[in-house]
A and B are shown apart, each in its own frame.
Chain A
Amino acid sequence: MDTSFISQSLPLFAKATWLTLVLSFFGVVFSIVVGTFCAIINFYKIPVLRRIVYAYIEVARNTPLIVQLFFLYYALPRLGMVLDGKTCAVVGLTFLGGAYMAEAIRSGLQSVGRTQIETGMSLGFGKIKLMRYIIIPQALAVALPVISATTIFLMKETSVVSIVALHDLLYVAKDLLKEGHALQSNLMLVVCYLILILPVSLGFSYLERRSRFAGFGA
């Protein structure tokens, strides 16, 4: 195998890996925030907002990310809103991921028993504190496996961001492919994704074991 190829392409792959990591990080964090808000709106059945959330979740889950990115990058400027590639990618990932996280967290919230909530109320907790200290911690533990799967799904979904002119891993690999390094660049691609995703996957497994140990939901 041509080792000089690896040393030459390494900086490119490293940069692209970093980009994927940054996009994934913000995409996932914002997804969890959006998802939590949507899930709480559903949980408290807040009128009007609840319908908007419902519509949002259906749209987000039933359109491909690539289409959402196209819209953000090419259609929005027509409406007078210009976003750069990275912003588009993060907004797109958040739009998609928020819907999945909302469903994950909603199932977590619903797993918290009625009497747990009443116990919190009988101790004088108001709606917001009840959510924060009693319901959400338990809900997250229950939702953790789905949150973990969604995180990894979103990290993999970043592979389409080259359509908004970002030089991500797939873009770099494709570029090198054209220069006739099909095998090497494909291997590099696999290795880079593994380096990115494997630790996240293992980290979540650890968290899941921990939260089970703490007796969440038991």
Chain B
Amino acid sequence: MPESQMVLEIRNLVKSYGERLILNGISLDIHEAEVLVVIGPSGCGKSTLLRCLNGLEPINSGDIYLDGGLITGPDTDWCEIRQKIGMVFQSYELFPHLTVIDNILLGPTKVQKRKRADVIPEANNWLERVGLLDRADAYPRQLSGGQKQRVAIVRALTMQPKVMLFDEVTASLDPEMVREVLDVMLELATQGLTMVIVTHEMGFARAVADKVIFMDKGVIVESAGPEEFFDHPQSERAKRFLNIFEFTGIHRVAAG
């Protein structure tokens, strides 16, 4: 089987905040069309890892390659690189002063200098696929959380990135809206988009992942396919973590 193209390559990434070591030597490969799901307890460094990947956090040491080119060198043009690495945040962060369509068009027209008329069909196509074409002229405040998050995903996609990073994008949504956002991501996975997804939705993680990594205290503890990881976790730490999501039924004894 021919080796598929490597999109992101992380070698020995080390990151600390002051004295505190947050990422302690992370190495990872993300291949084209691969969906990597990152899970782990709160504070283990998942968000920090994603933020290092698109240069929102400076790193202490290690190398990151995008499409084979080193992006952690001293003269990296992050504005250039970030156009190829889309990121979606937990809190959606639509620009409140712009309508849905203008939120989506801002990056492509102002950063990439593409013509508005050229981008609109693409933007509309995405909006249609996430079921929001009729809200193109709405302002963010007029949308529900789930709708805002879908727009945020479309906004990142319309930049035509090589890889998309998702940081707990359903964590601040009401339960009934979680599904609509996860469905969009599942469809993107089917389409062959390369994605790195941090999530606490275990059912979704299992369904969407090609590979799961389990992190704890700044290191990768396990790295496996989804079935293998969820059915037969190797480490004690992963087993304990997965147990948090299990509920055992309580059998009430009828009184009297």
Say yes or no for A134: interface residue by CB 8 A criterion.
yes
Question: Interface with A: B3-11, B36-44, B85-93, B230-238, which one?
Answer: B85-93
| Chain B residues with CB under 8 A of A215 | 96-97, 139-142
Say yes or no for A4: interface residue by CB 8 A criterion.
no
**How far in angstroms is the closest Cβ of chain A from B228?**
32
Say yes or no for A138: interface residue by CB 8 A criterion.
yes
B91 touches A115 (CB 8 A): yes
B89 touches A115 (CB 8 A): yes
* Given A124-B79, A217-B96, 6 new contacts (CB under 8 A): A116-B95, A118-B56, A124-B80, A124-B111, A129-B110, A216-B97
A216 touches B96 (CB 8 A): yes
Instruction: Give residues in A with beta carbon < 8 Å to B.
Output: 113, 115-116, 118-119, 121-126, 129, 133-134, 137-138, 141, 214-218
A67 vs B142: C-alpha distance when bound (angstroms): 50
Interface of A is mostly: helix
Say yes or no: A123-B93 contact (C-beta < 8 A), given A133-B106, A133-B110. no
Most B C-beta atoms less than 10 A away, residue of A124, A129, A137, A138? A124
Say yes or no for B112: interface residue by CB 8 A criterion.
yes
**How far in angstroms is the closest Cβ of chain B from A46?**
20
B107 touches A125 (CB 8 A): yes
The 8 Å CB contact of B110, one of A119, A125, A138, A141, is A125
| Chain B residues with CB under 8 A of A217 | 96
Say yes or no for B170: interface residue by CB 8 A criterion.
no
A-B contact count (CB 8 A): 70
A138 vs B83: C-alpha distance when bound (angstroms): 23
Q: How many B residues, CB 8 Å from partner? A: 28
| Chain B residues with CB under 8 A of A218 | 96, 140-141
A116 vs B85: C-alpha distance when bound (angstroms): 17
B156 touches A123 (CB 8 A): yes
Among residues 64 to 117 in chain B, which have CB atoms less than 8 Å away from a CB atom of chain A? 78-80, 82-83, 85-87, 89, 91, 93, 95-97, 106-107, 110-112
Instruction: Give residues in B with beta carbon < 8 Å to A.
Output: 54, 56, 78-80, 82-83, 85-87, 89, 91, 93, 95-97, 106-107, 110-112, 139-142, 155-156, 159
A122 touches B86 (CB 8 A): yes
A138 vs B141: C-alpha distance when bound (angstroms): 14
| Chain B residues with CB under 8 A of A123 | 82-83, 106-107, 111, 155-156, 159
B97 touches A141 (CB 8 A): yes
| Chain A residues with CB under 8 A of B56 | 118, 121-122
B106 touches A115 (CB 8 A): no
| Chain B residues with CB under 8 A of A115 | 89, 91, 93
**How far in angstroms is the closest Cβ of chain B from A173?**
43
A122 touches B54 (CB 8 A): yes
The 8 Å CB contact of B97, one of A122, A125, A138, is A138
A124 touches B82 (CB 8 A): yes
Say yes or no: A214-B107 contact (C-beta < 8 A), given A118-B56, A124-B82, A124-B112. no
B89 touches A214 (CB 8 A): no
A125 touches B79 (CB 8 A): yes
| Chain A residues with CB under 8 A of B89 | 115, 118-119
A124 touches B142 (CB 8 A): no
A168 vs B139: C-alpha distance when bound (angstroms): 45
